Amino acid sequence: MAALIHDSRIVTPHLPPLSHLSVVSVALPLLNEFGIGTLDRAFSEIQLGNSSASIEGSEEDHEINYNRAVEKLLLIPPLLRKSVLEAVHGMHWEIEAWRYRHSNIFKFKDRECFFHWRSDGTIDTIKIAQQLVLDQRINIRKRFEIACKYYLEKSVKILWAKMEASGKTKCYNTADNIMVRFWVRWLREGCRVPWTQAAGQYLDINVRHTRIPVTGFRAIFPSLRPEDRKKILTLLQSSPSEEFRLCIYSMTKEEQEEVVRESPLNLLYLHLDWPLQNLFLETAEKIINYIDARSFCILLHHIVDLYDRGDFAYRELFRELWDMVPDHLKESARKDRHLRMEIDSCVDEIRRKGNAADNNEPINSKRKSGSDLKRKNKSIIKNRRS
């Protein structure tokens, strides 16, 4: 059997374990049926031992819905229940992030969107985009913008032709969107070259002069020449998490190192989002030498801000990160008065766990010695008999 090839890159494609996929398969139907608010209340009541409680003063339908949520949560083994709720929160924040990124296109108070999910609990943004560009209830300009944003070439051409036939392309304003500008230029030039080739040439002119987060790079990044890829490495870091993640998976070791040198925090922030949190400490350990004192303080503040999200044990992660970083970073962070209380709490918890481990060690050692002595005596008796 051929030996496995070692991948020395800082970040490699995430392959979620079966346990994660199983938790997601349970959490997603619950989120779809009950929503985050009802599930949170039901979980809290179960934890308090009030699993038969109802919401006082609620409408009958809401009360029935709440009781059904309690019943379904009680079917989940207690040891797994918290993991399922964390997954619910992770997917809830996925939805909120998607809505925020598209708030300039849609008013979600007026319309809802049916979400397509991958097995790892992340939104399949391409499938949603493919669904939205076909929805004729949405303004055609908005549909065209979505098609441009997600590099849906066929839809871009069809929608442009429809707008052109109705005279809507003559004064088409593309000032606020790099990707729309690219596609409109490509269309007006008669699509003479493949769009992937045109992207490399056109983005050279425009990408470096924008601070607006750009989506769609994942569609072209793997096919760009190394010199063209280098031009957009900085801009990638301000792209949405999914874009950044999928692009960084296709980077070479040298490109990843360049990204980390420019801004190690962006890579760490990526691993503080669902569903990559379990890889955060491993990633931090790989790039700890790139993190300066100021960046470390910013990172700690960011982790503290995540405490109430409910999709991961961020307090425990704070402690584990603190335990592994060099002393010079700790000394600098202690000077931050806003972090001091959290750091003191963290250090106390680390000491408490250390003392508990030390207190258990003699007992375990004594048990081990006793077991070893029994085994030795049995061996002696056996040898004497033989």
| Secondary structure of 60-109 as H, E, C letters | HHHHHHHHHHHHHHHCCCHHHHHHHHHHHHHHHHHHHHHHHHCCCCCCCC
Is the model more confident about 168 or about 276? 276
Rg from Cα positions in the chain: 27
Which band of pLDDT confidence, cut at 50, 70 and 90, is reported for residue 361?
low
Rounded distance, CA 325 to CA 301, Å? 15
Q: Is residue 343, in this structure, part of any structural domain at all?
A: yes
Token reading at 240 = 């949405």
Query: Tens digit of pLDDT for each residue in 18-33?
Result: 999 999 999 999 999 9
Question: What length does the chain have?
Answer: 386
Instruction: Check residue 169 and report its DSSP letter.
Output: S
pLDDT score of 368 more than 70: no
Q: Could you tell me the residue range of the domain that residue 87 belongs to?
A: 17-113
Lowest mean pLDDT: which of 73-82, 171-180, 223-232, 278-287?
A: 171-180
What mean pLDDT is reported for the chain?
A: 83
Q: Which of 167-176, 246-255, 360-369 has the highest mean pLDDT?
A: 246-255
Whether the CB-CB separation of 216 and 149 falls below 8 Å is answered with yes
**pLDDT above 70 coverage of the chain, percent:** 81
Domain end position, chosen among 113, 139, 173 = 113
Tell which phi-psi region holds residue 22, choosing left (phi > 0), alpha (psi between -120 and 50) or beta. alpha
What is the secondary structure of 221-246 as a DSSP string?
GGGS-HHHHHHHHHHHTTS-HHHHHH
Rounded distance, CA 371 to CA 369, Å? 5
pLDDT score of 4 more than 60: no
pLDDT score of 316 more than 60: yes
pLDDT at 359: 66
- 19-24 own/partner pairs: CB under 8 Å, 24+ apart: 20/120, 20/121, 20/275, 21/119, 21/120, 23/80, 23/83, 23/84, 23/87, 24/87, 24/91, 24/119, 24/120, 24/121, 24/275
Query: Tens digit of pLDDT for each residue in 120-167?
Result: 999 999 999 999 999 998 899 999 999 998 889 999 999 999 999 988
Q: Is residue 315, in this structure, part of any structural domain at all?
A: yes
pLDDT score of 2 more than 90: no
Which band of pLDDT confidence, cut at 50, 70 and 90, is reported for residue 203?
low
Rounded distance, CA 93 to CA 96, Å? 5
Q: Is residue 3, in this structure, part of any structural domain at all?
A: no
Q: Taking the CB of residue 223, how many other CB atoms lie within 10 A of it?
A: 14
pLDDT at 268: 96
- The identity of residue 193, as a single letter, is V
- In degrees rounded to 5, what are phi and psi of residue 133? -70, -15
Lowest mean pLDDT: which of 13-17, 216-220, 248-252?
A: 216-220
Whether the CB-CB separation of 220 and 199 falls below 8 Å is answered with yes
pLDDT score of 354 more than 80: no
Is the model more confident about 371 or about 326? 326
pLDDT at 100: 87
Instruction: Check residue 139 and report its DSSP letter.
Output: -
Whether the CB-CB separation of 129 and 216 falls below 8 Å is answered with no
Whether the CB-CB separation of 25 and 76 falls below 8 Å is answered with no
Closest CA to 27 of 92, 71, 99: 92
Q: Is residue 260, in this structure, part of any structural domain at all?
A: no
pLDDT at 3: 44
pLDDT at 236: 79
| Tally of CA atoms within 13 A in the half-sphere of 213 that contains its CB | 12
For 213-227, what is the mean pLDDT?
Answer: 75
Q: Is residue 123, in this structure, part of any structural domain at all?
A: no
pLDDT at 111: 47
pLDDT at 282: 96
Is the model more confident about 124 or about 105? 124
Domain end position, chosen among 84, 113, 142 = 113
Domain count along the chain: 2
pLDDT at 386: 41
CA 193 → CA 201, 202, 226, distances in Å? 11, 12, 20
Q: Is residue 91, in this structure, part of any structural domain at all?
A: yes
Domain end position, chosen among 113, 138, 167 = 113
pTM of the full predicted structure?
A: 0.81
Token reading at 304 = 């503290």
Closest CA to 219 of 189, 198, 243, 241: 243
Q: Is residue 364, in this structure, part of any structural domain at all?
A: no
Q: Is residue 88, in this structure, part of any structural domain at all?
A: yes
